[in-house]
Structure 1
Amino acid sequence: MSATAAALRIARRTAWRSRGRSALIMVMIGLPVLVITAVLTLTETMTVTSTEGLAAELGAADARLVQVPEGTVLHQQPGGANWSTGGDTAATTPRRGAAEVAALLGPGARVIPFSTGVLRIGAERIDATETDLRDPLTRGTLTLSEGRFPSAGEVAATPASGLRPGDLLRPDGAAPLKVVGVAEHPHRPSLRMVVGPDLPLAPLDDMWSPLGYGAGWLADTARPVSWADVPTLNAAGMFVTSRTMLTSPPTAPTRGSAAEVQYTVGIGAMVIMVGLEVVLLAGPAFAVGLRRRRRELAEIAAQGGSAAHLRTIVLADGLILGGAATVVAAALGIAAGTLSAPVLARWGGWLGPPDIPWPPIACVAALGLFAGLAAAVAPAVQAARQNTATVLAGRAPAAADRPGWPLAGATLVLAGLGATVVARRQTAPVWVLGCAVPVLFGLVMMTPWLVGRTGGPAARLRLPLRVAVRDAVRNRTRTASAVAAVMAVTATVVAVGIGTHSEYIDRRDAYTSARPTGMLAIWAGPIGDPAWNRLRAETVLRLPGVPLASGYQARDAQGRRYALRYTTRWNGTRTRRTAAIGDQALLRLLQGRHDPQAAAALASGRAVVFDAAAVRDGRLTLRASSTSGPPRTLEVPAVTATPADAHQGGALLPRALVEQAGFSTAERQLYAMHRPPAGSALWRDLARVTSRVTVASEEGYRNVPDPGLWGWLVGASILVVGGTLAATRLAAADMRPERAAMAAIGAPPGTLRMVVAGQALYISVLGALVGLAAGTVTGVALSRPMTTHGAADPATIAIPWPFVIAAVAGPPILATVAALITRTRPPLTRRLL
């Protein structure tokens, strides 16, 4: 039998004999593999490629065409998903009928309607598709699961809509529709939609999108519709998606060199940091095995085993446990990703056929196997260097320091910090993450030196903690690995927490509006005075007792509408605002109170501006622009004032000032401090008067901090506590003589537990403090590229104190408590007489 085969057999038997330790090591190695594999499988399964979604997109048709709105010029790009429109009121696109669309596709073409939009049922809106599911061209778009396909005056509903055969839908202003079937979308279980051949779709307004809402057709053509036909169809006002375009797309442009480099650096930094943390966390558990097998290895050496044989035996532990952990974790990750995809898809998203990305998973598995071997390297080197006579005599081996490591580590740390200073000036945060890698490696190399420096202050501690700290310092090789593991995890969590929270605060501070929170705004488009009077009367009727303030539109002598805008800086970014035109009533709403100075300025014909940076020398520069008239530049007298909300900007112009500039004014806006109740039908009621009405309610900044940060903290706590307890268990095994002596002189069990808990507290606190320093530096540097939007934009640095305190103090407390409640038996030590 070869030495390698013998080492593998010994490792297998040892792993089975120490099942608790083996399980801990497998969890440490396998947990990252399981999570990454599950995410990869889940993402791949929930990603529907153009080929997989072909039937749902086109059914049995050769192409789908979507009519663009009038006045739109379409420029479709390769891939069928990139599009741009340019409004041109002079050039309108006529609405085409089915015969005209068929003629565009050539002889032998047949088309059927396939329009997507919404049905309005009271205050509710539901997605709807107008097509005949009985036609063979629609085969595959939906799968019938109950009832039958609808005919005239009937609909089929998806399961997520909650409708069943026999239910009635009552669209606004249309005849009731009877539900006759339930049909499932092949890839969207959460889709709420009804389908029928003659649906009263609501006006699309601004909802049109070639990949979303729009009137269109499915087409059966005599020849394939290729990219060569796209420009002609675009010119005719058609967005086209064809079977040929989806199955044979043009060659995609290659990724730019800068983006490729950033992508590679980001992936590399992530792999290195994950591998480093796994190695550091699993290292103490391998050291426990080495300490327990020290005598066994010494006996092998005494019988002729070489240092290489001892290294092979210990490395075989890493190969066996790392391989087993990787295989089990990869299998569980694939199963978890595959099984969770249908569940998540019912909450939202797409669902394709089960798909396993084997190349990335193989890379992740290789990383897990390498981490297992790397975690066993340090114990393997220690096993090869141990003194056989010392071990067989029962004496503890002397710890050997490496005097060059602290200096090399300090050099790496300084180099990484210097690179971080440069990287924070870059636009991509990936460079900061890349620079954090040498800092972490340098701190890992310095950790034994840091552990050694903490021995002196331990003299002031109470006996249990003093014994624990001095034992940790004396066995700094064992302690350093656990401290470095805690440091790496804490640094990563703190850095991500500071960067993410800074980005949230920056987005919150960057939010701005020209109206205070709680204001309701009603705007009318280009309508005449009679229509406006009816709209105003309807608004008063629908909002009884709500005070309304008027806003005005500016028009030139030819009746063309003009918008008066100015540009300012808000939170470091250039922001363009439209100035409102109104009177004292609107000013009180915008300020939330009566401001005598601002009111006097407005009455005297000056603009009241809430953006102080926009006013220079008492003047506000405005640009008057129109879709059909020449632009103008105006300079008006202005004063600054305080708005109702901190996020609020904007300006209010008196009517007299606008009219002095050569414009006329007409009331076309209404404002009120009023929050419509949930499900309000105000917009629908006003749209009955005119479709050219907009209703907007200012709700303020509604986003909340990312809750995923606390998920990071939970995962980090599990890793820190697990690694700390593994090292503590090793320390407890090494401290048997000390604990036996303490028990012999009458130390109670609580004191013995305090000694063990002191090890856990020392390891976790020292690692957390060093990790806090490293993570803070990286997090602050990370905040700049994540929160700046140009050279003149200052960085936003915000530290989430509750999160940071929990990340630094939480794991040590948990680890100490876990060590305290662990049963500690008085050790039985053989003494020489």
Structure 2
Amino acid sequence: MSALVAALRIARRTAWRSRGRSALIMVMIGLPVLVITGVFTLTETMYVTAREGVVAELGTADARLVRTPEGTVLRQQPNGAGWSRGGGDGTAAPELGSAEVAALLGPGTRLVPFSTGVLRLGAERVDAVETDLRDPLTRGMLALTEGRFPAAREVAVTPALGLRPGDLLRPSGAAPLTVAGVVEHPHRPSLREVVGPDLPLEPMDDGFSFSRYGPGWLADTAEPVTWVDVPALNAAGLYVTSRAALPDSPRSLVRFSSLDVQHTVGLGAMVIMLVLETALLAGPAFAVGLRRRRRELAEITAQGGSARHLRTIVLVDGLVLGGAATVVATLLGVGAGVLGAQVAARWGGQVGPAEVPWAPVLGVATLGLITGIAAALVPAVQAARQDTVTVLSGRASGVADRPGWPLAGAVLVLAGLGATVVARRQPGLVWVWASALLVMIGLVVLTPWLVRCTGRVATRLRLPLRMAVRDAVRHRSRTASAVAAVMAVTATVVAMGIGAHSEFMDQRDAYTSARPTGTLAIWGGPMGDATWDRLRAEAVRRLPGVPLAAGYHAEDAQGHRYALRYKVRWNGTRTRRTAAIGDQALLRLLQGRHDPRAAAALASGKAVVFDPAAVRDGKLALRASSTSGPARRLEVPAVAATPAGEHQGGALLPRALVERAGFATAERQLYAMHQPPAGSTLARDLARVTPRVTVASEQGYRNVPEPGLWGWLAGALVLVVGGTLAATRLAAADMRPDRATLLAVGARSGTLRMVVAGQALYISGLGALVGLVAGTVTGVALTRPMTTHGAGDPATIAVPWPFVIAVVVGLPALATVAALITRTRLPLARRLV
């Protein structure tokens, strides 16, 4: 029998005999593999390519055509679509009918009406499709799960609406519709949609998308509709989705490029960090097995086994457990990803056919196998160096430090710190993380020396803690692995916390608006005075009792519309603002109060500027630009004033000042301190007067502060507490004779618990403190590429103190409390007399 086969049999037998320890190792190695594999599979399954979704989009039709609003200039290309609004006075243009569209597509074309919009059900609005699902062209778009497809005055609904066949649907302002059937979208099970041949559709006001909303048709053509035919259809005001002109999209979302240096370095750093962290966490568990098997290994040596044989036996343990963990985790990850995609789609989103990106999944599985072997590497070296006579006589083995390791660790740490200083000024985060990895490896090498140095404080501690610290120092190889694991987790989480919080604070400080929070703005596009008067009258009617402040636009003698803009640096970023034109009413709205000084300046023909840095020597430099006329540069008298909001900027120009510069002014804007209620139809009501109107509401900065930080804290909780308890369990096993002696001389159970808890506190506390220092250095370095926007922009550094305290203080405290409840009663040990 070969040595490898014998080692495999021994490893299998040992794994089965110590099932608890084997399960712990498999969980530590397999959990990252399961999570990453599940994420890859879920992402791939939830991504529906254009080819996969073509049946749900077109049924059996060759193309879908959507009629765009009048005045729209549409340009579709294989890589996307661009559109703009043309000029005019808001008058409607002739719309194409079915006959004209069929003529554009050629002889033999058959069209089926297919219009999308929304249906109002009281205060609720749901997506709706007006088409006949009984037509063969719609086959495959929706699957019938209950009832039948609807006929006239009937509808089909998706399951998310909670209706059954025979129920009544009551659209606002229309006769009730009978539910004939329940249908389900093949890729969007959470979709809330109503489908019927005659629906009272309402157009979409916001989130407009030609590919989703609008009146149109499904077309069955004699010849495929290709990209050659698209420009002519665009010119006729039709948005085209064709089976023969689908954009090409890659199947796999998980791709790696060997030509991208930053990508390669980042991927390598991530792989090394993952292997290092998992090996450090699983290392103490392998050390537990080595402690329990050292007599068995010594007997193998006594019977002729060599050091190479002992290394092979322990490494094969890692191979067997890592391989088993990888296989199980990969299978569970693939299953969890496919199942998770189905569940996630029920809550929102879409799902396609089950897809597994085998190349990255197999790469992750290989990584898990390597991690298992790496975790067993240090115990394997220790097994090969153990003294056979010492072990067989029952004495504890001495610990010998390697004198060159502290120096090597210090060199790595200093090199990493130097690289961090350089990387901080490089674009992107990859180089900072690569430098942080160098620091982390150096600290791992330094950890045994740190353990030995900190052990000197044991003389000042109470007996239980003194015994715990001295035992930790005496077994530095065991303790260092657990301390390094806690250090790596803490450093990573603290660095991520500082970087993410600094980025959030920078984004919050960088947020700026030209109007106070709570402002409603109505902007009119190119239109005549008569159309604007109708639009203004409709706004006054729809907003009874709401004071409206007027704004104006500037135009030259030829009728070219101009925007008056200036540049200012805001939070380190060069920002371009458009100056408003208005009177005292608009000034009071922008300031939120009456400011006599600003009001007097505006009345005297000066600009009122809310960006003090833009005013130089009492002047504001403006650039008047137009899409159809020559640009001009102006310099106008200005005064700085205080706006209503902290993050508000902008400027207000009096009409007289603009007119003296050679422009004419015309009222085309309305402003009010008013927030429309949810479900407001104001935008749709004004769009009925003219589609060249924009309604906007200033909501202020809305981002939630770092919701992902507490997810990092949860992950750190599992890793820190789990790794600490694994090492504590090993320490408790090693201290069995000492604890038995304490028990024999009458020590209380609380004293025994304090000894075990002292080990947990020492391991987690030392790891957290060292990790705090390393994580702070990396986090501060991350702030520069994450928060700077130019060469002269200083980095924003913000420390999330509650989060850092929870990680550095809370997690060690929690690990200590968990160790306190560990069972400590021991049977009386047998002693030699």
TM > 0.5 between the two? yes
Distance 1:628 1:199, change over 3 A: farther
Deviates more, 1:535-544 or 1:295-304: 535-544
1:603-752 equivalence runs, <5 A: 603-687=603-687, 689-752=689-752
What is aligned with 2:551? 551
Deviations 1:62-84 (A, max 9, x none): 23344455555544333xx5223
Deviates more, 1:517-526 or 1:304-313: 517-526
Distance 1:629 1:120, change over 3 A: farther
Mapped partners of 2:228, 2:689: distance in 1: 45
1:344-383 equivalence runs, <5 A: 344-383=344-383
Distance 1:798 1:248, change over 3 A: closer
Mapped partners of 2:7, 2:258: distance in 1: 47
Mapped partners of 1:580, 1:121: distance in 2: 39
Kindly provide the amino acid, as one letter, of the partner of residue 289 in structure 1. G
Mapped partners of 2:229, 2:465: distance in 1: 80
Deviations 1:345-368 (A, max 9, x none): 122111112223333222222211
Mapped partners of 1:86, 1:227: distance in 2: 20
Mapped partners of 2:832, 2:717: distance in 1: 43
1:454 aligns to what SS in structure 2? helix
**How far off its partner does 1:577 sit?**
2.1
What is aligned with 2:504? 504
Contact 1:123 1:681 in 2 (8 A): no
Contact 1:548 1:670 in 2 (8 A): yes
Deviates more, 1:626-635 or 1:51-60: 626-635
Mapped partners of 1:100, 1:418: distance in 2: 71
Mapped partners of 1:94, 1:336: distance in 2: 54
Contact 2:205 2:684 in 1 (8 A): no
Distance 1:540 1:40, change over 3 A: same
**How far off its partner does 1:188 sit?**
0.8
What is aligned with 2:219? 219
2:76 aligns to what SS in structure 1? coil
Distance 1:319 1:304, change over 3 A: same
Q: Percent identity?
A: 77
Mapped partners of 1:616, 1:49: distance in 2: 54
Contact 1:60 1:140 in 2 (8 A): yes
Distance 1:719 1:621, change over 3 A: same
Deviations 1:365-404 (A, max 9, x none): 2211211111111111111111100001111111121222
Distance 1:693 1:431, change over 3 A: same
Deviations 1:82-101 (A, max 9, x none): 223355549x9985443443
What is aligned with 2:80? 82
1:575 aligns to what SS in structure 2? strand
2:608 aligns to what SS in structure 1? strand
What is aligned with 1:585? 585
2:733 aligns to what SS in structure 1? helix
1:239-254 equivalence runs, <5 A: 239-246=239-246
**How far off its partner does 1:297 sit?**
1.1
What is aligned with 1:10? 10
Contact 2:154 2:196 in 1 (8 A): yes
Contact 2:50 2:249 in 1 (8 A): no
What is aligned with 2:102? 102
The answer to whether the aligner puts 1:299 opposite 2:299 as a matched pair is: yes
Deviates more, 1:215-224 or 1:264-273: 215-224
Distance 1:229 1:688, change over 3 A: closer
What is aligned with 1:272? 272
1:550 aligns to what SS in structure 2? strand
Mapped partners of 1:549, 1:247: distance in 2: 47
Mapped partners of 2:310, 2:274: distance in 1: 28
Kindly provide the amino acid, as one letter, of the partner of residue 343 in structure 2. V
1:158-169 equivalence runs, <5 A: 158-166=158-166
Mapped partners of 2:626, 2:673: distance in 1: 29
What is aligned with 1:23? 23
**How far off its partner does 1:526 sit?**
4.4
What is aligned with 1:339? 339
Distance 1:717 1:831, change over 3 A: same
What is aligned with 1:61? 61
**How far off its partner does 1:733 sit?**
1.9
Deviations 1:624-680 (A, max 9, x none): 334544443322111111111111111112222223223343444333323333333
What is aligned with 2:386? 386
**How far off its partner does 1:424 sit?**
2.4
1:574 aligns to what SS in structure 2? strand
Kindly provide the amino acid, as one letter, of the partner of residue 274 in structure 1. L
Mapped partners of 1:657, 1:624: distance in 2: 13
Deviates more, 1:335-344 or 1:696-705: 335-344
Deviations 1:543-582 (A, max 9, x none): 4444333333334445554332222222222322222222
What is aligned with 2:138? 138
1:817 aligns to what SS in structure 2? helix
What is aligned with 1:125? 125
**How far off its partner does 1:694 sit?**
3.3
1:751-790 equivalence runs, <5 A: 751-790=751-790
Deviates more, 1:446-455 or 1:281-290: 446-455
Distance 1:408 1:102, change over 3 A: farther
TM-score of the superposed pair, with normalisation by structure 2: 0.93
In structure 2, list runs of 5 or more residues that go unmatched: none
Deviates more, 1:531-540 or 1:767-776: 531-540
Distance 1:817 1:648, change over 3 A: same
Kindly provide the amino acid, as one letter, of the partner of residue 392 in structure 2. L
Contact 2:87 2:526 in 1 (8 A): no
Deviations 1:686-729 (A, max 9, x none): 44555544332221111102322212211111111111111111
Contact 1:167 1:179 in 2 (8 A): yes
Contact 1:158 1:193 in 2 (8 A): yes
Mapped partners of 1:176, 1:685: distance in 2: 24
Contact 1:122 1:681 in 2 (8 A): no
Distance 1:827 1:214, change over 3 A: same
Contact 2:257 2:264 in 1 (8 A): no
What is aligned with 2:601? 601
What is aligned with 2:180? 180
Distance 1:302 1:255, change over 3 A: closer
Kindly provide the amino acid, as one letter, of the partner of residue 439 in structure 2. V
Kindly provide the amino acid, as one letter, of the partner of residue 189 in structure 2. P
Mapped partners of 2:541, 2:235: distance in 1: 46
Deviates more, 1:724-733 or 1:213-222: 213-222
Mapped partners of 1:303, 1:251: distance in 2: 58
Mapped partners of 2:679, 2:417: distance in 1: 54
The answer to whether the aligner puts 1:312 opposite 2:312 as a matched pair is: yes
Distance 1:680 1:250, change over 3 A: closer
Contact 2:112 2:218 in 1 (8 A): yes
Distance 1:425 1:339, change over 3 A: same
Deviates more, 1:617-626 or 1:740-749: 740-749
- Corresponding residue pairs, total: 831
Deviates more, 1:474-483 or 1:531-540: 531-540
Mapped partners of 2:691, 2:140: distance in 1: 36
Distance 1:783 1:381, change over 3 A: same
Contact 2:556 2:663 in 1 (8 A): yes
1:770 aligns to what SS in structure 2? helix
Contact 1:123 1:679 in 2 (8 A): yes
Kindly provide the amino acid, as one letter, of the partner of residue 726 in structure 1. A
In structure 1, list runs of 5 or more residues that go unmatched: none
What is aligned with 1:462? 462
Deviates more, 1:256-265 or 1:504-513: 256-265
1:622 aligns to what SS in structure 2? strand
**How far off its partner does 1:207 sit?**
4.8
**How far off its partner does 1:512 sit?**
1.2
1:565 aligns to what SS in structure 2? strand
Mapped partners of 2:321, 2:251: distance in 1: 45
1:84 aligns to what SS in structure 2? strand
Kindly provide the amino acid, as one letter, of the partner of residue 675 in structure 2. R
**How far off its partner does 1:519 sit?**
2.0
**How far off its partner does 1:470 sit?**
1.9
Deviates more, 1:576-585 or 1:385-394: 576-585
What is aligned with 2:566? 566
Distance 1:235 1:664, change over 3 A: closer
1:455 aligns to what SS in structure 2? helix
**How far off its partner does 1:248 sit?**
7.3
CA RMSD of superposed structures (Å): 3.0
1:648 aligns to what SS in structure 2? coil
**How far off its partner does 1:125 sit?**
3.2
Contact 1:72 1:93 in 2 (8 A): no
Kindly provide the amino acid, as one letter, of the partner of residue 394 in structure 1. G
Contact 2:203 2:214 in 1 (8 A): no
